[in-house]
Copies of this chain bind each other. A is one copy, B any other.
């Protein structure tokens, strides 16, 4: 079982997860061929994954058999385990917690595609509906307080399998970055009586030079202090705290915008590895006035080196204003 440990010096938590050591590392050996009997995520290889917790599939097909469009399954090498209870232990200066939670994989296509950008509009809409449906389902588990959807595409972004997939992590305590972000925007709300994200959207709309795309409901821009070259955030223009409260039509528009932004990144950067993260409010709250859901997408061109580990500062060689200009002028299909 995993355990979470707190470094007494920095105060940071680390997940010690010996189960993860057994993960396949496809990219370190021979790449898996297209649509292969070797790829556990390809249609026909359903027995290679744990049983599905959700699938969108053709009406005449059976669970864990071919005929699906999208599948969500438990992660075979989870960083957190769904069994056991949350227990904290202290011993002198050391503090640790059992690694309880939920770690799922969402297989984005029955075909051996390698990027979300290769999905059709219809398929990427389904994918975002699966994100929502799994978050809503997990929010009913009383042990869990937060759900994080994320995607790793390409080895530099931490993917170990090339078949396009996303992941969902649900946790019994707020992850460090989430509670830090919530505290920061809460402090802004207390001082100024408004949502910091709403304020940021107004500033970007007024300035225009960091905007990549916008529609009546959504805005995509390169943030002022982006950590990575071409980092782009997508937000709803109107205040909304929970990603998972959207209807199918809104999710469809969002999904197509995410796909277009990834296409733009892939047209600017060859062999573009990337991550995206969906930031939403904690499960057990109503509409939160100071929090605004958003998606962060970032290509992985730079590496974290001694500089970043020593200082805590990311170094971004591409000013966000230039990045936005290049992305705006790139192909979105």
A317 part of interface (Cβ distance < 8 Å): yes
Interface membership of chain A positions 76-119, coded 1 if the CB is closer than 8 angstroms to chain B and 0 otherwise: 00010000000000001110000000000000000000000000
Q: State which residues 291-327 of A face B: CB under 8 Å.
A: 296, 298, 303-320, 322
CB-CB < 8 A to A315: which residues of B?
14-15, 17, 20, 79
Interface SS of chain A: mixed
Q: State which residues 224-239 of A face B: CB under 8 Å.
A: 224-227
Bound-state CA distance A96–B67 (Å) is 53
In the complex, residue of chain B having the shortest beta-carbon distance to the beta carbon of A302: B158
CB-CB < 8 A to A13: which residues of B?
225, 312-313
Bound-state CA distance A197–B6 (Å) is 15
Q: Which of B8, B151, B157, B226 contacts A200 (CB 8 A)?
A: B8
Task: Establish whether residues B226 and A14, one from each chain, have CB atoms under 8 Å apart when the complex forms.
Answer: yes
Q: State which residues 27-74 of A face B: CB under 8 Å.
A: none
Given contacts A196-B93, A310-B148, contact A20 B317 (CB under 8 A): yes
Task: Establish whether residues A277 and B158, one from each chain, have CB atoms under 8 Å apart when the complex forms.
Answer: no
Bound-state CA distance A159–B306 (Å) is 9
Q: Which of B8, B9, B152, B318 contacts A305 (CB 8 A)?
A: B152
A21 part of interface (Cβ distance < 8 Å): yes
Instruction: Count how many chain A residues have C-beta atoms less than 8 Å from C-beta atoms of the other chain.
Output: 78
CB distance from A239 to the nearest CB of B (A): 15
CB distance from A93 to the nearest CB of B (A): 6
A177 part of interface (Cβ distance < 8 Å): yes
CB-CB < 8 A to A7: which residues of B?
223-225, 227
Task: Establish whether residues A176 and B15, one from each chain, have CB atoms under 8 Å apart when the complex forms.
Answer: no
A131 part of interface (Cβ distance < 8 Å): no
Task: Establish whether residues A317 and B21, one from each chain, have CB atoms under 8 Å apart when the complex forms.
Answer: yes
A289 part of interface (Cβ distance < 8 Å): no
Q: State which residues 172-211 of A face B: CB under 8 Å.
A: 175-178, 180-181, 184-185, 188, 196-197, 199-200, 203
Q: Which of B12, B157, B226, B320 contacts A312 (CB 8 A)?
A: B12
CB-CB < 8 A to A306: which residues of B?
150-152, 157-158, 167, 275-277
Bound-state CA distance A305–B13 (Å) is 16
A285 part of interface (Cβ distance < 8 Å): no
CB-CB < 8 A to A188: which residues of B?
8
Task: Establish whether residues B305 and A275, one from each chain, have CB atoms under 8 Å apart when the complex forms.
Answer: yes
Bound-state CA distance A271–B153 (Å) is 24
Interface membership of chain A positions 255-287, coded 1 if the CB is closer than 8 angstroms to chain B and 0 otherwise: 000000000000000000001110100000000
Given contacts A14-B225, A14-B316, A177-B311, 4 further A-B contacts (CB under 8 A): A8-B188, A17-B317, A93-B199, A150-B305
A interface residue numbers (CB < 8 A to B): 4-21, 79, 92-94, 148, 150-152, 155-159, 167, 169, 171, 175-178, 180-181, 184-185, 188, 196-197, 199-200, 203, 223-227, 275-277, 279, 296, 298, 303-320, 322
Q: Which 4 A-B pairs have the closest CB atoms?
A: A158-B305, A150-B306, A176-B312, A177-B312
